[in-house]
Amino acid sequence: MEENLHNQIIKIIKEKSSVKQDIFLATKEAFSLLKETVKAQVVQLTNEVTLIDNRVTIEFKDRGEFMFEIKVAGDLLIFRMHTNIFEFDSSHYIKKSPYVQKDEMRSFCGLISVYNFLADSFKYYRLNDVGYLMGRLFINKESNYFVEGKNRKITIGHNDFGNEKFTSEKALNLLETIILASLEFDLYTPPFETQKEITVSEINESNNNISLQTGKRLGFKFQFEDDKGIK
């Protein structure tokens, strides 16, 4: 029995752990591609936007090996690569695809998430402010990928998991689509009932009212514009 258990351990390491290392490298390559795409877009957008209104800023900031951000006017998009590898529940639609059913290890994926914050939340240290998940990119051992998004526009052209590689063209399209979605995702005035009371300590905390939470849909019970964009 001991030999059998030992063999099982070696088998799992051979069949799963090594594959996860491949997936990590593929995800890191996709993350680097996104980062370079963002840097190039910052230069291009800055040159064009400055001619329109030089008060509007477009900025890139590297926040370490697994995170970077792009500021576009009043919006901040944070790209974050998770260092772990994920599997999907058996009910997930990709598990039912012929591509995955031919090789179950194809459904193990790395994860890159994109969050939308208000730029002022970081500028004025409003630590209670909230951000929103705009999209998630999943990439497997073969560098095939798919995207889950806030709405269907984000996922169009990024959902043919069995046939699509993450290229520079795909990275640019995904980036521009998410930037556009974040700019169209406006800050709504919270419902009056949710804001009618305030404590003395909240007023005195600072001129920035860092204890008062701000978010684009804060106080609203809402669904994304097109729930069909989320799988």
Q: For the segment 86-132, what is each residue's pLDDT rounded down to a tens digit?
A: 999 999 999 999 999 999 999 999 999 999 999 998 998 888 888 89
**Is the per-residue pLDDT at 36 higher than 90?**
yes
Residue 143 lies in a domain: yes
Q: Are 191 and 219 in contact, with CB atoms under 8 Å apart?
A: yes
Confidence of residue 230 (pLDDT cuts 50, 70, 90): very low
- 173 membership: H or E segment, kind and range: helix 168-184
Query: Could you tell me if residue 4 is inside a domain?
Result: no
2 is a domain residue? no
Cα torsion angle, 175, 157, 31, 184, sign: positive
Whole-angstrom distance, CA of residue 152 vs CA of residue 131: 20
**37 occurs within a structural domain:** yes
CA-based nearest residue to 78, from 66, 89, 91, 92: 66
As for how many domains the chain has, the answer is 1
| CA gap 131, 78 in Å, rounded | 9
Give the separation between CA 67 and CA 7, rounded to whole angstroms.
Answer: 38
Residue 31 belongs to domain spanning? 9-229
Tally the residues of the chain: 231
Listed ranges 33-42, 148-157, 192-201; the one with the highest mean pLDDT: 33-42
Q: Is the pLDDT of residue 55 over 50?
A: yes
Phi, psi angles (nearest 5°) of residue 136: -135, 130
Residue at 206: amino acid letter = S
Q: How far is the CA of 159 from the CAs of 12, 13, 57, 73, 100, in angstroms?
A: 29, 30, 32, 29, 14
Residue 3, in any domain of the structure? no
The helix-helix angle for 18-52 and 168-184 (nearest 10°) equals: 60
pLDDT beyond 50 at 220: no
Residue 131 counted as domain residue: yes
Q: What angle do CA 223, 38, 47 make, to 5 degrees?
A: 110
pLDDT at 227: 44
Confirm whether 22 is domain-assigned: yes
Q: What is the Cα Rg of the chain in Å?
A: 21
pLDDT given at position 231 = 40
Say if CB 109 and CB 139 are below 8 A apart: yes
Q: Where are the beta strands (DSSP E) in the chain?
A: 58-62, 67-72, 75-81, 110-118, 132-139, 145-149
Least confident piece of the model among 8-22, 79-93, 173-187, 197-211: 197-211
Tokens standing for 30? 């996709």
d(CA 131, CA 214): 9
Instruction: Report the pLDDT averaged over residues 151-163.
Output: 93
Q: Is 31 helix (H, G, I), strand (E, B) or coil?
A: helix
